[in-house]
Each structure stands twice: as structure tokens, then as C-alpha cells.
Structure 1
């Protein structure tokens, strides 16, 4: 049995892309569509490149990204079929870029999230990015962005694009390419037009490459890729490897209590555990909770791998302790949602602590006899 409050759905990401011409185009083959996240979490879908070449000029696209002001695209490429280590490196680079864009000479620009993709989940996969909007169209913005690219020499290297409007309400996209020993040059242009909303969300085909883990090994592979720069990841993996892959729950009930912060959840869990003489477990478990802040500062794919593996450790602890006594779990929400008919009940936490505790105990007694 479990008690839980339902979490809010996460905000939708934005997406961007654009194929390029020239010598570098054949090697990288960027995506051909984008969906840009606008204020209010609305999305603008655009098509870039050869697929939009025959389309009529689109005043809507030009008004969105053209004058007044100037817009730039910046995204982190991930090689098609890239391994787990490549995805982790790209995610960390994307996070670092966002921090740099929000500071220094670029902090006055507007930032919008975007995601590069191919229609229908093509072979190039999905690339996270950002659209930077300079309302003042300052030449210093372009110089600062190119200097930012110069500071990133390791792979994967960020890709910079620039949107330019024309008096005929056309919108064009240029990519900046580094020439050997000769600095940066523009490649293009490529036409940009509005595109219809896709029937399938672009990230769905790429779910196996995101922070959604179908099993323990998928999450483990992410932390394994982090061990060169996060030494604590090895300690987490060693603890996970000590857990049996198929943990069998004992005969005593397992009660998960979930809730928002500052709702009295911790007080209730402790009181219930004392009343039932139960073992109290927490997620993430105590053996890895000292590294929680460290992993919270990492990109989503790393952070979710840490918490996912923490759930497997808790599941192993639950299986062991439930052979001896009832188990109260403070927050394994993900684990019990995977159970068949977990028996969730929502408890109003607004009354006094004593009434909330009495209501929880009454539910437990009715459900668990």
C-alpha cells in the first residue's frame, strides 16, 4: 500500500534544427525541423533547409526570428547512435553553455529552449539547444558567441547558427563554420518557414537516449560514463552491484508515504513507523544521500540515473526488511508506481498533525488488517 500526492507534469521542451550546406554538411547532417519554446510554454514549429526551399516567403517566421533584433541558434550535436558516454558529455556541455550564456556579455539576451530533430525520428536523433535573441542586434553579441565557441575545443563542439530576415519577409539561416587556421565563416543560407505541428512529439523516438531508463543496467551505464569526472559515481555503482537483481519482498506490508516538501510528510512517516514498530527507509537511501547535492547539480540524464539507482538500492533494503517487520518508505514513489495495483490513497495534510496521523493509521489498519 502507498500514500502519494501526484507530481506536476514537467514543462515541454523546445526544439530546433537546420541542415547545412558546404563541406561540413555531409559529415554532420543536422536535423531539418525545429520547435521553439515561446513565453507561456507555447511552441513554434519551423522547417529549415532543403525541405523549405520551395515554400513561399513566410512573414510569420520572419517576424518571429528576424528584425528588429537578431536571433542565433546554439546546440550541442550528438553523433547518431552515440554511446552513453557521448550523451553524458553532450548533456554536460549543454548545461555549461547555459550557465555561460546567462553570465558575462550575453546575459542581456533572451534565451529560449529548443530541440533539434528529424521529422519522424530520423537517423540523426535529437539534439538539445537554445535560441538566443538579441533585441538590440548588437555586433558584440556575434563576437561574444564566436569567442564562446573558441573556448570549447573538446568534442562535442557546439554549433552556432544565425537567422537573418529580408525586406521580402523571407527568413534565412546561416551556420558558422571554423576554417583551418582562417577563423570563422558563414555557410548557407538556408530558407526557414513555419511548419505544421508533428503528429508525434519529436522526443518520443529518442526516449531510449534520454533520461528514461527501462532497467537497472541502462541507468548504471550512465553513471559508469561519469566515473572519470565524478569519483562518487563509482561508490554508487559499487553499492548497486551489491543488490540482488531480483529482490523478493517479505510477508510484511510496505507503506510508501509521498508528499510535497513542508507538508509534514517526514513527521508523519516517523510517527507511523513508531506506532507500527516498523522500519523507516528513505529514498535516496542513507548510504548515498550525502551525494545528493552533487548529483542535483548535474544534467538531467545524470541526475535521473543517480535517483533511479537509489531506488534499486531502496528496493533491495525493502525486500530484506519486509521479511522481519512492516516497512515505511519516505519518498520510492517511482518504485511503487511500477507495482501492479499498489493501492495508493491520498491523505489531506491540512488538519493537525494528530488528525493526519490518525487518518493514516486508520487507513493502514483497514487495508493491512
Structure 2
């Protein structure tokens, strides 16, 4: 870990730290000297005798970092002594892309501190994790002690910093790392991720063998391409099949059927790998669209909008204001991916959607379960759909009968696609 920690140290005091406490973010910075003026109580809810620690996962190997971060929480929950509180935290350089590193913050007490520190010391020596401890002083001034072996070797002791309050950034820090970590904007970037994990995920090579060339993924067909988007139970399946029959079109789905054997495998992976897999599914679908669109109109059940909207909503927690602002490059369409002629977003009242889901009686995906119990997540998904541009979604109310929804969408298609 020393090599990777050393790369952070030159800008360590420029970093801002965020801890999720009681469901709200707390931001703080650090400084090397204790200033004379009264310092704000950064950790006002903690007692002086509390023992606090942070673990930030950081490695030049992004695959290792992503997998270890996903495994670390389970390890901590399993091995920490009872009575410890564990919450999410992160550190970032304000307004610097790809500077976000994620980890966990934990609070213990004097009685279990030796057990905690033994566990953290073992992690710090063998895993891609940077460990800090935090202590409260008589003057209510908290200090951070960096456990980095790189720093200890240079100074002979752990480096101490003083904690100071920091204002919330203009944008939620998660937005710094969305591009090519959660949402991919080229076939090459997504391919790179699967190539890097080929040694540990053999199925990745099978996916790569199915990919089209860049030209095939963006080749514009002769006939219109209409994408139908929306949350589960908004009527996408009924509508897409009706459009296929009415227009004499070809119906495709994304992710494509050819990736089905590997979906369960990649759904178990951390977001970096899982999102790259689904991004590549869009490029395979694009090749199918190009081929079929030379003969007939093409209807597509979900496409890049779904991949991006769910990824953005998952990467950014909290209320809608945490999403990247409208017009952000996060919402742009990939330059090397075929653009549809029309994208229709079906919307439905949340209670009506739940009723339809209950009547279907099908098993729910993890994301569908999250939509059900997390109101803010659903709002973020819906808003991310609406903010994606070039092409933007045209919203259609899916609450009327299937025939009326079909009629409304056909009018849109005839007006915009001249069918």
C-alpha cells in the first residue's frame, strides 16, 4: 500500500473528506498547524473517549480497488467487535475529475480499540487501503493520524493533522468519478475494463469476442429506430410488441439475448465491471439495429438511456439536487454509438406502477427492489432519464389503456419518423 499512499500525500492537505452521519453528509478538511482561533467542533456528536477510524480504498489497479471496496464492508461487519458503528465516507479534491476515493468510517470505544486497530493494521499492510485514526483533545479539537507506511518511514512517526470544518462542494463529490467509472462513453473505454479483469473473470473474454467494430456500432440504418424506455411495469413489453405488429418492425431488446448466459455473473461484480458489461451490451444491440434497420423499422426495448440513468442514479446518493446539473457532459450520448430516431419514455404514477408489479407476480431484480423501497432512488432514475440529450426522451403517460398509449406513440412516430 505504501507506493499508492505516497502518491496521495503531496496533495493530502488539499483533500476534502465526507462522512455520512445520520443520513447527512459531513464535510471536513485538514491542516498541519493548530491555529489560535477557536476551531469548530467538526465531530460534535462524538465524545472525547470515542475511537474513530477511516479506511479509504486506493490503488492504481482500478479493478482491484473496485473489487476490494465491494468486499471490504462485508469483512468489516464480520470481523469488527460488537458495538462499532460503520458508515460510508469518501475523500476528493474539489472540482478535480477522478479524484474521488471511497471507503468507510467507523466509531468504536476505548474498550474495543485494540481489537479494531489490530484488524486495521493488518488491512493497511496487505490491502489497497489507507487508514487514519481520529482523536479528540481537551479543547474539542480533533486530529487525524495517517497510518501510511510511506509517511512513517520518512518521518519516523505517523503524521498528525488538525481537522477543520469544510463547506459542502458545489456538486456532490460522486459526480467527479461518474465518467468511465459508472457510465461509459465509448466502446474502447468499456472494453478496457473487461480486458483488465480477464484474468479474474474468464467470462469477460467471451463478451469481448462478441463485440462489433466501432463503425458497425454507429452505422445508421435506412429505416427509423424507435427506443421505448421506462421503469418496470410501465407497459414497455406490451407497447413494443404492439408497435412491432402494427409497423411490421423488428423488435430488439437491450441487453441483447446473446449476453444472457453471463448476466448473473456480471451482476455480482462491483459497479465498474458491471456497468462496463452493460455498456458493451448496447454496442452489440447497435450492430443488430444496423443490420435489421436496413430491411424494416426497428423497435428497441431499452437502450443506452436505461444503462446511463440507472448508473447515474446509483452513483449519486441523496436528493435530486445531488445529480449532475442539466447540461452536464454526463448526460451526453456516446459519440461512437448509433443514435435512435426517437426515444419514448413511459411514465406512470408510483402507486399504479406498484399495483401492476404486484399483479404480475414476477420476481424483482435488485434495482427494482431498490426502486420500491427508496423513493429518492426512483426520483433520481426518472430525472436522469429526462436529462439525457441527443437524443432526449419524449415523455408519454402510460396510465391510459394499452390501446390509447399505442395510439399516442404511433402519432409521435408518424410525426417525427414519417412512418
Q: Report if TM-score (shorter chain) is over 0.5.
A: yes
Over 3 Å counting, the alpha-carbon distance change for 1:221 and 1:321 in structure 2 is: same
- Quick one: distance in 1 between partners of 2:255 and 2:135? 49
Which residue in the other structure is 2:27 paired with?
45
Aligned pairs for 1:115-126 (under 5 A) are: 115-119=90-94, 121=96, 125-126=99-100
| Secondary structure of the corresponding residue to residue 257 of structure 1 | strand
- Is 2:302 aligned against 1:328? no
CA-to-partner distance for each residue in 1:257-295, whole Å, 9 max, x for gaps?
111112222222222222222111111111113322222
Map 1:53-132 → 2, pairs under 5 A? 53-54=34-35, 56-67=37-48, 69-78=50-59, 82=60, 86-105=61-80, 109-119=84-94, 121=96, 125-132=99-106
User: Structure 1: where are the runs of 5+ without partners?
Assistant: 1-21, 180-184
Is the CA contact (8 Å cut-off) linking 2:212 and 2:284 kept in structure 1?
Answer: no
Compare 342-351 and 287-296 and name the one that shifted more.
342-351
1:97 is displaced (CA, Å) by 0.4
Report how far residue 41 of structure 1 moved.
Answer: 5.5
Q: CA deviation at 1:217?
A: 0.8
Distance in 2 (alpha carbons) for counterparts of 1:55 and 1:128 = 32
What are the Cα deviations for residues 62-101 of structure 1, in whole angstroms up to 9, with x where unaligned? Answer: 41555463321011123xxx3xxx1111111111102223
SS, match of residue 210 in structure 1:
coil
From the superposition, tell whether residues 317 and 49 of structure 1 become closer, same or farther in structure 2 (CA, over 3 Å).
same
Deviations 1:158-196 (A, max 9, x none): 2221111112111011233569xxxxx972332111123
Measured in 1, the distance between the counterparts of 2:415 and 2:84 equals 58
Separation of aligned partners in 1, 2:393 and 2:178: 27
Q: How far did residue 48 of structure 1 move?
A: 1.8
Larger RCO (CA under 8 A, 6+ residues apart) = 1
Residues 255, 128 of structure 1: alpha-carbon distance in 2 compared, 3 angstrom cutoff: same
CA 1:299–1:341: 2 relative to 1, 3 Å: closer
Matched, 1:192 2:163: yes
Aligned counterparts, 1:1-369, within 5 A: 28-29=8-9, 31-32=12-13, 33-38=15-20, 42-50=24-32, 53-54=34-35, 56-67=37-48, 69-78=50-59, 82=60, 86-105=61-80, 109-119=84-94, 121=96, 125-134=99-108, 137=109, 139-140=111-112, 142-144=114-116, 146-147=118-119, 150=122, 154=126, 156-176=127-147, 187-199=158-170, 202=173, 210-241=181-212, 244-245=215-216, 247-334=218-305, 338=333, 339=339, 342=391, 344-367=393-416, 368-369=418-419
Summarize deviations over 1:108-133 as a string: whole Å, max 9, x none. Answer: 533332222235539x9332111123
